């Protein structure tokens, strides 16, 4: 997220350029990925509560057989445990 002082075309273009610069220069070091992987898996374990499971059950009731339940923002533990730098680049 980036806050722009105005929503005119020039500021918007400059904001997109900042995002491009960030993404273009990212280093995807295996040690850093492994460190972050541990943090994300810890957050996933912490999130697993009665409230979270009720929320997921509600989504299942409301949206049934859609992709939503398979694409929750925290991710799937199998992918979180095995993703390598190439997967991030792809």
In a domain, 69, yes or no: yes
Which structural domain range is residue 44 located in? 27-89
Nearest to 57 by CA among 72, 43, 36, 46: 72
Domain count, the chain: 1
In a domain, 1, yes or no: no
| Residues recorded for the chain | 90
In a domain, 22, yes or no: no
In a domain, 19, yes or no: no
Burial (CB count <10 Å: 0-12, 13-18, 19+), residue 13 = exposed
In a domain, 43, yes or no: yes
In a domain, 10, yes or no: no
pLDDT in single tens digits along all 90 residues of the chain: 778 888 889 999 998 998 888 888 778 888 888 899 999 999 999 999 999 999 999 999 999 889 888 888 888 889 889 888 888 777
In a domain, 44, yes or no: yes
């Amino acid at each position: 997220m980036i806050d722009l002082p105005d929503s005119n075309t020039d500021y918007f273009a400059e904001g997109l350029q900042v995002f491009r610069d960030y993404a273009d220069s990212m280093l995807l070091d295996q040690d850093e990925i492994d460190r972050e992987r541990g943090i994300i898996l810890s957050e996933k374990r912490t999130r697993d509560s009665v409230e979270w499971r009720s929320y997921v059950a509600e989504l299942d009731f409301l949206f049934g057989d859609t992709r939503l339940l398979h694409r929750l923002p925290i991710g799937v533990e199998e992918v979180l445990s095995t993703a390598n730098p190439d997967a991030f680049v792809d």
